[in-house]
Chain A
Amino acid sequence: GQSLEQPSEVTAVEGAIVQINCTYQTSGFYGLSWYQQHDGGAPTFLSYNALDGLEETGRFSSFLSRSDSYGYLLLQELQMKDSASYFCAVRDRGGNTPLVFGKGTRLSVIA
């Protein structure tokens, strides 16, 4: 089976930088994804890491270390609209296996 651990809540100040960590335990590994979900909305895809290193997309970056079974999502220049839940997710046995999600980190951005 798989398990993913991420903090349940994080609070950060507008304009600051925040890092949301995710550690995973899987029998295999086929990439780490991140999704954002605003209250009342559907999860939306943010990023995907299959290989070690940093992937940058605008204000958001995602990092993966396969040897440490660890990844993080970095949000820079925080805006109030970034207040949402963030989920890490993995597939452990290849592209046709289900995407398994962590329980999510609720990010609150304060002024």
Chain B
Amino acid sequence: KAGVTQTPRYLIKTRGQQVTLSCSPISGHRSVSWYQQTPGQGLQFLFEYFSETQRNKGNFPGRFSGRQFSNSRSEMNVSTLELGDSALYLCASRTEETQYFGPGTRLLVL
């Protein structure tokens, strides 16, 4: 099976812009979780989608949003970008207790 894929891999934006990141889970996986990874804060949970519904949400402002499509692909959107949003954004799909991460999208906000 193909692994979790994420596009784009790298992105440069300026403050105030918005960005949409995409994630395709492993075939058959219905859960997609998103994490933000920064050097100082580690992996922080953003949200999880399961069967097109947001099942869990982390402690991030409303500028961060997401959705999941009927084919389990997921997108996350960040509006009004801030410098502090520069990070590696990881998505993961799972079976039982194992999460499978994609390679991530590295976002740089200038």
A, B: real partners: yes
Q: Which residues of A contact B (CB under 8 A)?
A: 31, 33, 35, 41-45, 48, 50, 87, 95-104
Residues on the A chain within 8 Å of B50, using CB? 96
Measured CA separation A92–B56 after assembly (Å): 13
Q: A42-B102, A45-B100, A104-B43 are in contact. List 12 more A-B contacts (CB 8 A).
A: A33-B99, A41-B103, A42-B90, A42-B104, A45-B99, A96-B50, A98-B48, A98-B56, A99-B33, A99-B45, A101-B45, A103-B41
Residues on the B chain within 8 Å of A102, using CB? 42
Q: Which residues of B contact A (CB under 8 A)?
A: 4, 33, 35, 41-45, 48, 50, 55-56, 58, 90, 96-104
Residues on the A chain within 8 Å of B33, using CB? 98-99
Which among B33, B101, B103 has the greatest number of chain A C-beta atoms within 10 A? B101
Which among B97, B100, B103, B104 has the greatest number of chain A C-beta atoms within 10 A? B97
A87-B43 in contact (CB<8A): yes
Q: For residue B53, give the distance in angstroms from its CB to the closest CB of chain A.
A: 11
Indicate whether A43 sits within 8 Å of B58 (C-beta atoms), given known contacts A98-B33, A99-B99. Answer: no
A101-B43 in contact (CB<8A): yes
B96-A95 in contact (CB<8A): yes
Q: For residue A35, give the distance in angstroms from its CB to the closest CB of chain B.
A: 8
Residues on the B chain within 8 Å of A100, using CB? 45
Measured CA separation A17–B44 after assembly (Å): 29
Residues on the B chain within 8 Å of A31, using CB? 97
